[in-house]
Each structure stands twice: as structure tokens, then as C-alpha cells.
């Protein structure tokens, strides 16, 4: 592969529902462009994109994969993105470095969740839709086209009409050019447009003409005067509409035929990286201000790391996009965030699992480098004297949590190091050891995400682990005011131990702190020097309640009286007297269990609001309100017990077929109902 410059390079994310044929279509494009001698097959586990053990076993993509193809003197970096919702981080990383998106939709009727998700995530990208599977007996092209129009409006611009024979696509009419072609092996040959298809072609031709007319005043005048547009005018207008995101061309075919028109259309309609002159708002560290730049080779070199791959043998592989200038192997480059220089010993062009060594890469291109010392995902690296920071990728926050435990002693020492390696690889994973419960908690996007984590630990790092439920951090408090007097006296030869306290315990209903301590001592019944000892006893006591041993919150302890001995009293005696007083008083003060509540913000399509409300009712949740957002989605705000929403990521995915989003944060503690109290105490 020759060296390409910014105005010859395009980066395209390939999106769609899991199982829609993305990987097969990328494979076919690699074959059609000459990158492959023969196509692999997903079922056989030998495709360029899906090469990890997890992907081969599951027969679906788990990680993004970069496949660079050459077509019409252009380089197109295709990024095959997983369609499973749990791997949304891979989609977010890919879209951060792609100018455009190819969205694969199945030819069966209905707009599935994966299509809606892809369209939503790529809403600010130039797009082409490819209706796949016209060799499927259940295909329904005309219905699918109408559904796309109904869902996404006038932007939908079909430029093909398939020629069908026995419900299989045997050719197509390029309506934009008004040319017919029939498939013959890997080639097509021109034919006259069949007259019986004109009734299907004419409405699409009219729609294309109308779209073309709206791109300039000059073309609008021709349209009004009923003058025919030239092929060049149509092609220019379609490209302008795609780049300005007012048009989405729709192509059709199978995962083997119709591939050439996808490649032609990407070159014809999508921007090259070098065309994106004002596409990035960056922070210029030297000037202390924001700056608008494009993928400009004339500027000094800068790269942005968008993905890290952890390998126990190779080490860390960093995938990056060249933002400005040209990067060369053997050069040094400065990490602006970490303030350290890195040496680019060898430079690579990624192609599936292969890394192909190259001498240089120009602005707009995607590359790889291994064994960087400190640089990680979301870091910007620049040449000395030119310091900019590219905006970080805003990865989805993981809320689906489980406790992870090593299986067997041999894995105990290795597991933390292995997990830390996978955290570098996947920014939608979080690892949070809980000192209170002694659990190692791992958070991901959903159950499939964490299942793949276990598989990667085993296959990559030879570490076996299991998942279990996270223990809920319950708390205890009191609902009644009680005054208790307690004496601690101990004589064992020599100096004894003596301390007596009288303390009033009362609820504060403020669970932001464990306790409030006051003293109201009159007449020196307890010397001031022992007040800190009393508070130390209180600090020790609130660590464990009397119901189920959970920490105590929301109590006020007021020292009102007591007594002391000139010789036998000590700090230890008053501390011990306080802990005894606490244990005697709390059972009389109506102790209760508190459960943590979470504030939930759920964003869904209006059609799912009823199901969301019903589901919240089953979780003892309170719906606080709802709002209609600018894009027509509904935001529902609710408060729910943590115990009920630990697996909400899976519930929401099931309710909305993966289209819903949610945020969750700790709210406060509330009294737990009797059935929960009995269950917790019995454990």
C-alpha cells in the first residue's frame, strides 16, 4: 500500500445491529479492493475483523477492528464496530476518529434497535445506509425503504432500485445516473432499464431531483424550469447534501453483491479527512486558548490515541489518528497531558490483527505504535513547540456492577494486574475495591460486557475469576431519644479503671455524617480532658450497629453527666464506658435499618415510557418527573433503592431493545421496609 495524504484518506465507521452483516460486508470490501485473495467467513472464524478468541467463539464482534482498503486512488480506513450494545465504548472510540459512517440495516421489515442506535450515535456524521440481505427469502426492500423514510424523513435518498428475480437481487438501477446493471460473477454489465420498473424508479428520480434542486439557487431555477440535471450536477449535489448531513443515500445488495457501489459511493459522497478544515476545536496549550483546526499536513505533528490494546506478550498497542502534520518512525513525540516524551521506535498500519510496519503516516490517517511508556487512551502527543490537546472521547459511564473474585489461590496475585491491563484497553470498565465489604467490584455496561471480561482474563492473562453480587452498603440509625447512664469500673491490683458517663442519644435524620457529639456537663462531673476520650468511644461504636453490624448514621450523642476518680480514671476508662453506654442505649432507641437510594435519569423514546414507569413500580421506585428533550426523547427522573436497580442496565436494555440510556448516582439513605430488614438480618 502506498503512502496517502490527507485529501486522499477517509475514515468510515461501519455500524449496525449485531448480526446485520457488518463484518461480512467489510470482508467483501477488503476482497473487492484487492486486500484479500479470498473472503473469510464469520461462522468459520477466519475474517479479518473478528480475530480474537471471544469473537470467534461468539461469532460476533467484541472489539473495533481497522481494515484499510484502497479504492479509486483513495485510502478508506474501515472501522468495523461491534453491534452488541454492551460494547458501546468501541463505537464511541471509532466515531471519535471517523468523518463518516456506513450503517448496515437488514432487508426484513421493521427498524430494529441496532439501526436506531447507530443512527443516533452517528447523528453528527455524514452517513450512507446499506440495506443488506436482498438474497434473503424474507427480504422486503420496498417496505424497509418506506420505514426508513417514515422514521428519518426527507434526508433518506435511495439512489438504487434493485432488479429482483425470484426474490433475489440480480442487478440494480442507479437512479441518480439512470443506468441499469446486471451482476455477472464479480462484475456487472450495463443493460437497458426495464420498462416495468419505471413506476418504481420515477418516484425515486423525482425525490433525487428535488433534493438536488435544494442544494443551490442555480439548480433550483433549472428544476423550476423543468430542465434536466446533468450527471455531474446530480453527483455534486448528492455529495454536498451528504457532507452537509441533509441527505443520507440508501444503497442495497447482499454481503457479496453490490459491494462495488458501496466503495464507489463512499469515495464519491464522503469527505476526505483533509477536507475537514474546521472540524476540531482544540485547546492550544501555548496560547492558553481554543483553536479551530483541520487535518492539516502543513502544521507540526500531533496524534490522538483513541484505543489501547493490552497484550501479555506484545505489551500495550496504542491506536491513534494523525491530527496534524506527518509522523515518522524513529521520531520523538511529547505527551502534553503527562508531560513526558515518547519514542516512536516503529510505526505501524493496523489491518485486523496484523500490524504492518510503515515509515510515515500523514494527517487524517490511522496508525499504531507499541510499547509507549505512559501514554494511554485519550492522550494527545505533539512535536516539541506545538502543544495542543484534542477533546477527550466522552465514554459511557458503566453502572452494571458485580464483585469479582479469583478462582483458586494461584490467581489471587495475578488478578489485579490483569484487570488493570484490561482497564487500559476498555474505558467503559471501572474497578473499585470496597474496603467496607472487602469486595473487588467491577463495573461494565451490561452482563455480556462482564462475561467477555472474564473470558479475556482467562484467554489473555490465564487468570480464572468468578462474579458474584455486590453487597449493598446498608446503614443503621435510631428513631427514638434515649438517655443512658453507664459505669465502667475495674480493679485488678494497683491503679484500677473508672469512668462513668450519662449520654442522651437522639436521631438527627441527617445521614451525611455518622454522629454529632456535644457535651453539656455542669460542675465538672466529667473533666474536659476526658471529652475527647468519650468522642473516641463514640467513633468506635458507630462503626457497627446492633441490628446487622452495619455502620450507624444520623445520631446525636450529648454527654450530660458522669463521674470520675482522681486516681483510677483515664482516657481508656471513659472510652470504654462510652462504648458500653452505646451498646446499652441503642436497643432502647428503636434501631432501624437504612437502605441506600439512587437518583435515576432514564432517557428513552416516548414509546417506552409506559413500560419504564411500570418497571419502576416493581422496584419500589418513585418517579419524580419527566421532560421532553430537544431531540424528542423523554427523560424520566426517579428515586429507587440501590438493591432494586443494581441490574438496571440489563432491565433497560430488555425493555427498550438497547435504545435507552440512563445515569445513576447516590441520593441518600431511607428506612428499609420490614421484609428487607428481615432478609438482611437473617443473612
Q: For residue 477, is pLDDT > 80?
A: yes
Q: Residue 451: give the domain boundaries.
A: 400-468
In this structure, is residue 373 part of a structural domain?
yes
Lowest mean pLDDT among 180-189, 512-521, 584-593: 180-189
Among 461, 516, 526, 444, smallest CA distance to 488 is for 526
Average pLDDT (160-175) is 86
Q: Are 296 and 268 found together in one domain?
A: no
Q: At what angle do helices 198-213 and 231-243 cross, to 10 degrees?
A: 70
Give the helix/strand (H/E) hosting 675. helix 674-682
Q: Are 130 and 79 found together in one domain?
A: yes
Give the domain CATH number at 417.
3.30.70.870
Q: Are 53 and 117 found together in one domain?
A: yes
Distance CA 473, CA 551 (A): 9
Q: For residue 674, is pLDDT > 70?
A: yes
Q: Look up residue 85 and give its three cell numbers.
A: 450494545
In this structure, is residue 205 part of a structural domain?
no
Summarised one tens digit per residue, pLDDT across range 349-400 is: 999 999 999 999 999 999 999 999 999 999 999 998 889 999 999 999 999 9
Average pLDDT (483-488) is 95
Instruction: Using the 3D structure, point to which of 275, 292, 313 is the last residue of a domain.
Output: 275
Residue 438 contacts by C-beta under 8 Å, 6 or more apart in sequence? none
Average predicted confidence (pLDDT) for the chain? 91
Distance CA 237, CA 217 (A): 12
In this structure, is residue 363 part of a structural domain?
yes
In this structure, is residue 88 part of a structural domain?
yes
Instruction: Report CA 295 to chain centroid distance, whole Å.
Output: 26
Average pLDDT (496-508) is 94
Percent of the chain with pLDDT over 70: 99
Q: Look up residue 397 and give its three cell numbers.
A: 459511564
Asked if 441 contacts 470 with a C-beta cutoff of 8 angstroms, the reply is yes
- Whole-number pLDDT of residue 204: 83
Per mean pLDDT, which of 100-104, 141-145, 675-679 is the most reliable? 100-104
Asked if 501 contacts 485 with a C-beta cutoff of 8 angstroms, the reply is yes
Give the domain CATH number at 599.
3.30.70.240
- Whole-number pLDDT of residue 249: 93
In this structure, is residue 216 part of a structural domain?
no
Neighbours of 672 (CB within 10 A): 23
Question: Residue 189 pairs with which residues in a beta bridge?
Answer: 182
Give the domain CATH number at 183.
3.40.50.300
Q: Are 516 and 568 found together in one domain?
A: yes
- Whole-number pLDDT of residue 527: 92
- Whole-number pLDDT of residue 493: 65
Q: How confident is the model at residue 672 (pLDDT cuts 50, 70, 90)?
A: very high
Q: Are 582 and 608 found together in one domain?
A: no
Q: Are 284 and 249 found together in one domain?
A: no
SS3 label, residue 478: strand
Q: Please give the tally of structural domains in the chain.
A: 5
Q: Are 479 and 563 found together in one domain?
A: yes
Q: How confident is the model at residue 462 (pLDDT cuts 50, 70, 90)?
A: very high
Q: Look up residue 277 and give its three cell numbers.
A: 478544515
Summarised one tens digit per residue, pLDDT across range 526-540 is: 999 999 999 999 999
Asked if 208 contacts 229 with a C-beta cutoff of 8 angstroms, the reply is no
Q: Are 576 and 498 found together in one domain?
A: yes
- Whole-number pLDDT of residue 329: 95
Instruction: Using the 3D structure, point to which of 568, 589, 610 is the last residue of a domain.
Output: 589
Q: For residue 562, is pLDDT > 90?
A: yes
Summarised one tens digit per residue, pLDDT across range 250-304 is: 999 988 888 999 999 999 999 999 988 778 888 888 778 888 999 999 999 999 9
Q: How confident is the model at residue 205 (pLDDT cuts 50, 70, 90)?
A: confident
Instruction: Using the 3D structure, point to which of 235, 258, 275 is the last residue of a domain.
Output: 275
Q: For residue 492, is pLDDT > 80?
A: no
Distance CA 418, CA 655 (A): 34
| Residue 58 backbone zone (phi > 0: left; psi -120 to 50: alpha; other: beta) | alpha
Q: Are 103 and 19 found together in one domain?
A: yes
Asked if 406 contacts 463 with a C-beta cutoff of 8 angstroms, the reply is yes
Question: Kind of pairing, strands 9-16 and 74-80?
Answer: parallel
In this structure, is residue 456 part of a structural domain?
yes
In this structure, is residue 325 part of a structural domain?
yes
Q: Are 360 and 453 found together in one domain?
A: no
In this structure, is residue 331 part of a structural domain?
yes
Q: Are 460 and 327 found together in one domain?
A: no
Q: Are 483 and 455 found together in one domain?
A: no
Amino acid at each position: 500500500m502506498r503512502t496517502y495524504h490527507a485529501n486522499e484518506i477517509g475514515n468510515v465507521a461501519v455500524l449496525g445491529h449485531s448480526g446485520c452483516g457488518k463484518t461480512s460486508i467489510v470482508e467483501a470490501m477488503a476482497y473487492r479492493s484487492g486486500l484479500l485473495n479470498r473472503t473469510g467467513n464469520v461462522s468459520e472464524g477466519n475474517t479479518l475483523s473478528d480475530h480474537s478468541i471471544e469473537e470467534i467463539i461468539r461469532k460476533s464482534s467484541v472489539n473495533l477492528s481497522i481494515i484499510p482498503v484502497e479504492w479509486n486512488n483513495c485510502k478508506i480506513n474501515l472501522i468495523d464496530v461491534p453491534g452488541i450494545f454492551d460494547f458501546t465504548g468501541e463505537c464511541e472510540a471509532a466515531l471519535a476518529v471517523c468523518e463518516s459512517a456506513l450503517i448496515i440495516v437488514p432487508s426484513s421489515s421493521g427498524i430494529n434497535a441496532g439501526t436506531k442506535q447507530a443512527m443516533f450515535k452517528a447523528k453528527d456524521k455524514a452517513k450512507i445506509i446499506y440495506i443488506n440481505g436482498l438474497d434473503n427469502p424474507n427480504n422486503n426492500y420496498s417496505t424497509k425503504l418506506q420505514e426508513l423514510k417514515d422514521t428519518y424523513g426527507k434526508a433518506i435518498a435511495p439512489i438504487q432500485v434493485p432488479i429482483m428475480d425470484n426474490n433475489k437481487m440480480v442487478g440494480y438501477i442507479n437512479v441518480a445516473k439512470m443506468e441499469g446493471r446486471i451482476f455477472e460473477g464479480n462484475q456487472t454489465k450495463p443493460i437497458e432499464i426495464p420498462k416495468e420498473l419505471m413506476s418504481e424508479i420515477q418516484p425515486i428520480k423525482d425525490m433525487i431531483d428535488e433534493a438536488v434542486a435544494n442544494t443551490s439557487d442555480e439548480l433550483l431555477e433549472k428544476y423550476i424550469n423543468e430542465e434536466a440535471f446533468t450527471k455531474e450536477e446530480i453527483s455534486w449535489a448528492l455529495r454536498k447534501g451528504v457532507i452537509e448531513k441533509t441527505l443520507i443515500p440508501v444503497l442495497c445488495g447482499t454481503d457479496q453483491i453490490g459491494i462495488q457501489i458501496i466503495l464507489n459511493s463512499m469515495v464519491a459522497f464522503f469527505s476526505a479527512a483533509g477536507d475537514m478544515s474546521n472540524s476540531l476545536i482544540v485547546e492550544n496549550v501555548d496560547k492558553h486558548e481554543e483553536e479551530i483546526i483541520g487535518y492539516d499536513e502543513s502544521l507540526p505533528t500531533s496524534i490522538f490515541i483513541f484505543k489501547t490494546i493490552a497484550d501479555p506478550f506484545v505489551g500495550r498497542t496504542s491506536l491513534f489518528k494523525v491530527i496534524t502534520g506527518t509522523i515518522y518512525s524513529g521520531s520523538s513525540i511529547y505527551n502534553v497531558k503527562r508531560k513526558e516524551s515518547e519514542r516512536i521506535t516503529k510505526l505501524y498500519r493496523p489491518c485486523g490483527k496484523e500490524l504492518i510496519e510503515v515509515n510515515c503516516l500523514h494527517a487524517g490517517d490511522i496508525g499504531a505504535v507499541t510499547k509507549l511508556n505512559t501514554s494511554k487512551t485519550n492522550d494527545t502527543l505533539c512535536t516539541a513547540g506545538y502543544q495542543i490537546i484534542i477533546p477527550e472521547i466522552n465514554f459511557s459511564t458503566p453502572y452494571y456492577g458485580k464483585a469479582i473474585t479469583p478462582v483458586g489461590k494461584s490467581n489471587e496475585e495475578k488478578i489485579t494486574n490483569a484487570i488493570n491491563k484490561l482497564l487500559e484497553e476498555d474505558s467503559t470498565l471501572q474497578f473499585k475495591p470496597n474496603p467496607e465489604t472487602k469486595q473487588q467490584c467491577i463495573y461494565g455496561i451490561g452482563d455480556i460486557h462482564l462475561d467477555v471480561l472474564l473470558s479475556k482474563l482467562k484467554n489473555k492473562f490465564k487468570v480464572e475469576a468468578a462474579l458474584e453480587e455486590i453487597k449493598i452498603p446498608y446503614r443503621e440509625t435510631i428513631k427514638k431519644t434515649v438517655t443512658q447512664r453507664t459505669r465502667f469500673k475495674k480493679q485488678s491490683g494497683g491503679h484500677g479503671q473508672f469512668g462513668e458517663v450519662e449520654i442522651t442519644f437522639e436521631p438527627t435524620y441527617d445521614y451525611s455524617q455518622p454522629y454529632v457529639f456535644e457535651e453539656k456537663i455542669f460542675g465538672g462531673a466529667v473533666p474536659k480532658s476526658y471529652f475527647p476520650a468519650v468522642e473516641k468511644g463514640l467513633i468506635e461504636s458507630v462503626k457497627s450497629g446492633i441490628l446487622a453490624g452495619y455502620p450507624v448514621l444520623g445520631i446525636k450523642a450529648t454527654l450530660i453527666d458522669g463521674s470520675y476518680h482522681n486516681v483510677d480514671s483515664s482516657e481508656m476508662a471513659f472510652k470504654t464506658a462510652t462504648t458500653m453506654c452505646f451498646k446499652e442505649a441503642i436497643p432502647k432507641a428503636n434501631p432501624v435499618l437504612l437502605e441506600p437510594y439512587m437518583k435515576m435519569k432514564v432517557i428513552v423514546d416516548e414509546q417506552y415510557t409506559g413500560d419504564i414507569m411500570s418497571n419502576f413500580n416493581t422496584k419500589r421506585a418513585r418517579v419524580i418527573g419527566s421532560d421532553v428533550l430537544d431531540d424528542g426523547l423523554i427523560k424520566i427522573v426517579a428515586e429507587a433503592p440501590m438493591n432494586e436497580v443494581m441490574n438496571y442496565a440489563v432491565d433497560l436494555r430488555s425493555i427498550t431493545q438497547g435504545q435507552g440510556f440512563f445515569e445513576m448516582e447516590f441520593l441518600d439513605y431511607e428506612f428499609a421496609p420490614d421484609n428487607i430488614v428481615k432478609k438482611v438480618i437473617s443473612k
